[in-house]
A and B are shown apart, each in its own frame.
Chain A
Amino acid sequence: MAFAAFASSDAAVTKPPRRKSTIALVLLLPGILYMVLFFLTPLISLVITSFQAELPGGDIGDYIPGLQWQNYVDGASEYLPHILRAFGYALVATVFALIISYPIAYFIGVKARRWPLLQSMMLTLVIAPFFISFLLRTLAWKQILSDESPVVLALKAVAILPADGHLTGTPFAVIFGLTYNFIPFMTLPLYTTLERLDIRFLEAGSDLYASPATTFAKVTVPLSMPGIISGTLLTFIPAAGDYINASRDFLGSSKTAMLGNAIEANFLTLQNYPIAAALSIILMAVILVLVGVYVRRSGTEDLL
């Protein structure tokens, strides 16, 4: 699966033999050329766009090449709350998704090993949300959490929610939506590592009189680190760039708008392409730095 991309591979590192390199070239060239044209040069155009200056006396959306560092300063200061919300919400959602997903993955990968059919059935249920439109399942939560819904009325009846309180349009709803939508991304890589976990290590822990909690903290968690890293990255990166959950037509409001909402609005509605591009570069740069530090700290650098 795609999740293997983020997990360290345990395949033997054998150097492939040097053979007819013309065949390799023919195999590689079309695809690599495609990626250069539609991934690499777009990133470069994004950088160029982010430095564009307004055309004096031009229409909305008219820009000329320039070296306007000011775009970054303007974008970062005007949209600082959006930037903070994007990374804050994504971080909280990632932590929640990890806490919710780990027991699921542990049960499917370790406890249910003796019943392969049950394992595959439960895995199918975990990925089932993938098969219904991302937007529709988010809208379903919007209806379920809306002001007239039984859920909200019940919460108000037991005074967990004040009488004039809302769920939709709040940071809670946005983080809830992000957590829900990315639980499968968290559970699958966790399952992949836990499924390969040698049960004898756990038995050794209890043989040495470690309590179940100690065995879990000292044996299970360290051994499942590759899954934790790939799961958190697969959740955090798309969550930080997401603008569906935080959109006011979905679970958010103008007070929950994230960086992705600001990029979308500037690019597609306001036609302020330089600011949208500068914000995109900021998002990408922060993610690359965070991911780099995180991966280095957790000691698995063989992501590629």
Chain B
Amino acid sequence: MTALPLDRKSPSAAPAATPPARRKLVGLGLPIYVALALVFLLIPIVYTFVFSFNDSVKSNIAWRGFTFDKWLSVCNEPGLCEAFGNSILVGVVATVLATALGTAIAIALVRYRFRFRSSISLLLFLPMATPEVVLGAGLAAQFLALGTQKGIVTVILAHTMFCISFVVVTVKARVASLDPALEEAGRDLYGSAAQVFWRITFPLLLPGILAAALLSFALSFDDFIITNFNSGAVDTFPKFIYIAAARGIPAEANVIASAVFILAILIVVVAQVSRSARQKRLARLS
């Protein structure tokens, strides 16, 4: 054993008990593990993408050769594009409703003091702590008791409900980080309440609102369990897959999923690049 190093330069240098060679090995182990884990996470995505090019006939299980056909004629699969269209419609309407209602709640929760505040927080938090199957069955039981015909409207009503909670959480963080001095400056300059809101508050909240809207759309688009309980005869994209799973998934479904994946990743990457560019610009200015 070596003596304790008295002139340690870095405080994070190896403690005397661990030989340097072993430390190096441990130091390499973590990045290798993380790389393998990330590859593991990507396996089903790559699989889905690859099998969107499969020249399959009925079910898309065995590899039968490469083709672009499924990408060029997605809507040839009966019911698929209709289900996809329903998913987009539900996602857009639920996102708009949830973002409007949720943003208003978030502003009120941060900016105003009122009675029943903690009960209201609980009411907004509970849907996120409730399993989807309970949310779905509860709504279905209510629609059943009221004699409501299940369809696309009931799906939109259900999706809006669970999206509101996520919007409130996302926008609340943004409202809380807002500097009140900016709005005070607006009022000092004789801006009306509406002017202060639309010219100062809203633009500052916009990134948070957009993030909340994207999250809502993603949650709605991929939701299956709540949809399954409340959609009646209407299909969404996930429900189409669930029904098709019993007899075999057509490769066209892989095409849609892959296209949506590529679009979503592009949005995330563009958002990240533009944010880092803005941070660099701000760093240069200061």
Contact = CB atoms under 8 A, between A and B. Distances in A.
Interface stretch (A70-78, A167-175, A276-284): A276-284
A206 B261 contact: no
Given A2-B170, A137-B44, A250-B245, A206 B12 contact: yes
A236 to B, nearest CB: 10
Contact of A263 (B17, B137, B224): B137
Residue of A34, A137, A139, A249 with most chain B CB atoms under a 10 A cut-off: A139
A131 B48 CA distance: 12
A116 B276 contact: yes
A165 to B, nearest CB: 20
Interface in A114-151: 116-117, 120, 122, 124-141, 143-144, 146
Given A136-B48, A136-B253, A140-B44, A38 B134 contact: no
A243 B133 contact: yes
Given A5-B128, A45-B145, A259-B133, 9 more contacts: A31-B102, A34-B164, A38-B157, A38-B161, A45-B141, A107-B31, A263-B137, A268-B228, A287-B131
Given A42-B138, A103-B33, A276-B137, A133 B169 contact: no
A43 B222 CA distance: 23
A297 interface: no
Nearest to B238: A135
Contact of B30 (A36, A111, A117, A304): A111
Interface in B114-137: 114, 118, 120-135, 137
For chain B, which range describes its interface: under 10, 10 to 19, 20 to 34, or 35 or more residues?
Answer: 35 or more
B204 interface: no
Given A2-B170, A27-B105, A132 B41 contact: no
B205 interface: no
B43 interface: yes
Nearest to A129: B41
B140 interface: yes
Interface residues of A, number: 105
Interface string A257-296: 0011001100110000100110011011001100100000
A122 B34 contact: yes
B140 A35 contact: no
Contact of B112 (A4, A5, A16, A128): A16
Contact of B108 (A28, A39, A126, A130): A28
Nearest to A285: B134
Interface string B125-165: 11111111111011111101100000000000110110011
Contacts of A136: 44, 48, 241, 249, 253-254, 257
A32 interface: yes
B17 A211 contact: yes
A104 B37 contact: yes
Contacts of A5: 125, 128, 165-166, 169
B57 interface: no
A152 interface: no
Interface of B: 11-13, 15-18, 26, 30-31, 33-34, 37-38, 40-45, 47-48, 51, 61, 101-102, 104-105, 107-108, 110-114, 118, 120-135, 137-142, 144-145, 157-158, 160-161, 164-166, 168-170, 173, 176, 211, 215, 218, 222, 224-225, 228-229, 237-238, 241-242, 245-246, 249, 253-254, 257-258, 260-261, 264-265, 268-269, 272, 276
Contacts of A288: 129
B249 to A, nearest CB: 6
Given A2-B128, A128-B265, A132-B261, A42 B139 contact: yes
Contacts of B257: 132-133, 136
Contacts of B168: 31
Given A5-B128, A19-B112, A134 B134 contact: no
Contacts of A237: 129-131
Contacts of B211: 1
B15 A206 contact: yes
Contacts of A268: 228-229
A103 B34 CA distance: 7
A46 interface: yes
Contacts of A227: none
A57 B222 CA distance: 41
A139 B123 CA distance: 35
B243 to A, nearest CB: 9
A18 B114 CA distance: 8
A203 B8 CA distance: 12
A21 B123 contact: no
Nearest to A233: B129
Contact of B228 (A206, A250, A264, A303): A264
